[in-house]
Amino acid sequence: EMSEIPKETLALWEKYGVGEADDKESFQKSFIRHVTTTLARSVYNIDNFSAYQATAHTVRDRLIKRWNDTQQAHTEVDPKRVYYLSLEFLLGRSLDNALLNLGLKENYGEGVKELGFRMEDILDEEVDAALGNGGLGRLAACYMDSLATLDYPAWGYGLRYTYGIFQQRLKDGFQVELPDYWLNFDNPWELPRLDVTIDVKFCGTVNRYTDETGKVRHVWVNEDKDTVQAVAYDVPIPGYGTKNCINIRLWSSKPKRKFNLKRFNEGQYEQAVQEQMEAENITAVLYPNDNHMVGKELRLKQQYFWVSASLSDIVRRFKKSSKPWDEFSYQVAIQLNDTHPTLAIVELQRILVDLEGIDWDEAWKIVTNTFAFTNHTILPEAMERWPVPMVQYLLPRHMQIIFDINLFFLQAVERAYPDDRELLAKLSIIEESTPQFVRMAHLAIVGSHRVNGVAALHSELLKKTIFKDFVRYYGDEKFDNKTNGITPRRWLHQANPKLSELITEALGSKNWLKNLELLKGLKSHVDKVDFRKRWVTAKHSNKVRLAEYIKKSTGIIVNPNALFDVQVKRIHEYKRQFMNILGVIHRYNALKKLTSQERADIVPRVVIFGGKAAPGYYIAKLVIKLINSVADVINNDNSIEDTLKVVFIPDYNVSVAEIIIPASDISQHISTAGTEASGTSNMKFVLNGGLILGTVDGANIEIHEEIGDDNIFMFGNLADQVDDLRHAHRYRNIPIDPSLQAVINDIESGHFGDSRIFAPLINTITHGKDYYLISDDFQSYLDAQKLVDEAYKDKEEWTKKSILCSANMGKFSSDRAIQEYAEQIWNIDPVPAKRS
Ligand code: 6GP
Q: Give residue-wise pLDDT tens across range 657-698.
A: 999 999 999 999 999 999 999 999 999 999 999 999 999 999
For residue 426, what is the domain's CATH number? 3.40.50.2000
Do 599 and 690 fall within a single domain? yes
Query: Are 160 and 239 contained in the same domain?
Result: yes
* Mean pLDDT on 420-430: 98
pLDDT at 258 over 60: yes
> Does residue 263 register a pLDDT over 90?
no
Q: Is residue 720's pLDDT more than 50?
A: yes
For residue 133, how far is its CA from the centre of ligand 1 (angstroms)?
9
Q: 158 and 235 share a domain?
A: yes
Is 346 contained in some domain?
yes
Q: Residue 748 domain-assigned?
A: no
pLDDT at 810: 98
Q: If you average pLDDT over residues 333-360, what whole number do you get?
A: 98
Same structural domain for residues 479 and 509?
no
* Coil/strand/helix, residue 32: helix
Quick one: pLDDT band at residue 274, thresholds 50, 70, 90? confident
- Final residue belonging to a domain, choices 451, 483, 515: 483
Task: Specify the pLDDT at position 830.
Answer: 98
pLDDT for 1: 44
Q: Let me know whether 285 and 147 are in one domain.
A: yes
**Domain match, 425 and 522 both:** no
CB 331 within 8 A of CB 318: yes
Atom of ligand 1 nearest to the CA of 137: 14
* 381 CB neighbour count, 10 Å cutoff: 11
Range of the domain at 281: 78-93+128-483
Domain boundary among 483, 510, 531: 483
Of the pLDDT bands very low, low, confident and very high (cuts 50, 70, 90), residue 782 is very high
Counting residues of the chain whose pLDDT is more than 90, the rounded percentage is: 94
Any domain includes 49: no
In-domain check, residue 251: yes
Last residue of one domain, picked from the residues 483, 515, 534: 483
Nearest Cα neighbor of 217 from 401, 446, 410 is 401
3-state secondary structure 516-569: HHHHHHHHHHCCCHHHHHHHHHHHHHHHHHHHHHHHHHHCCCCCCCCEEEEEEC
Same domain, yes or no: 136 and 218: yes
pLDDT in tens, 723-774: 999 999 999 989 999 999 999 999 999 999 999 999 999 999 999 789 999 9
Residue-wise pLDDT for 216-250, tens only, equals: 999 999 999 999 999 999 999 999 999 999 999 99
257: in domain:
yes
Q: Examine the domain organization and report whether 316 and 415 are in the same domain.
A: yes
Closest-lying ligand 1 atom to the alpha carbon of residue 377: 18
- 512 in a structural domain: yes
Number of structural domains found in the chain: 2
Can you point out the beta strands (E) in 697-744? 713-715
Distance from the alpha carbon of residue 86 to the mean position of ligand 1, in angstroms: 12
Same domain, 633 and 667: yes
Provide, rounded to the nearest whole percent, the portion of the chain with pLDDT above 70: 99
Residues in the chain: 836
Residue 261 has pLDDT above 80, yes or no: no
Residue 32 alpha carbon to ligand 1 centre in Å: 43
The verdict on 421 and 508 lying in the same domain is: no
Choose between 262 and 168: higher pLDDT: 168
Do 478 and 501 belong together in one domain?
no
Ordered DSSP codes for 76-113: HH---EEEEE-S-EEEE--HHHHHHHHT-HHHHHHHHH
Catalytic site positions: 376, 569-570, 575, 680, 684
For residues 5-12, average pLDDT: 91
pLDDT of 134 > 50? The answer is yes
* 714: number of Cβ within 10 Å: 17
Asked if the structure places residue 69 within a domain, the reply is no
Average pLDDT over the chain, rounded to an integer? 97
Give mean pLDDT, residues 326-334.
98
| Residues at CB less than 6 angstroms from ligand 1 | 134-136, 139, 290-291, 338, 376-377, 382, 454, 484, 676-680, 698
Q: Is residue 728 part of a domain?
A: no
Instruction: Check whether residue 381 and residue 527 sit in a common domain.
Output: no
